[in-house]
Amino acid sequence: MAGVTFRDETATGRPVAAAFGADGLPERMTVRELIRLRVREEVARYHADPGSHFRGLVRPEAAEADLNGYRMPEPRRLDWHRQAAVAERAFLSNGFFVLVGDRQVEELEEVVELGEGTEVVFVRLVALAGG
């Protein structure tokens, strides 16, 4: 089993949000699976403690970007499947790119090797709006 740390950065390398981890993962996953896992995890974290801000890869519908993430007009349930679909489309259209370890991955179906402590960095190039 593997464990990864997800981090977000700007194109200049500035951290965008606090890193978070996921353990008990298979040692081989596709990029699509990693993106979906990451989005599902951040939506679950928001649902566990809904507040005025959502901190995630994709801006929920009706939320406004600010310095602390995406300001929600009111707490609500998010559909992680919709958020993940937006993230996948953004990856395909270069809205962000992904580094696994020190290697940039380029295809959703690309299989990556994961080990304990693997860093998965999402480099945001544009703001992503979703559901």
pLDDT tens sequence across 82-123: 999 999 999 999 999 999 999 999 999 999 999 999 999 999
| The two three-digit tokens of residue 127, written as one number | 């703001």
Strands 69-71 and 53-54: antiparallel
Residue 129 lies in a domain: no
Query: Distance between CA 80 and CA 54 in Å, rounded?
Result: 12
Q: How many domains does the chain have?
A: 1
pLDDT digits 0-9 by tens, 5-62 = 999 998 888 898 889 999 999 999 999 999 999 999 999 999 999 989 998 999 999 8
Residue 131 lies in a domain: no
Q: Which domain holds residue 57?
A: 2-124
pTM over 0.75: yes
Whichever domain contains 47, its CATH number is 3.10.20
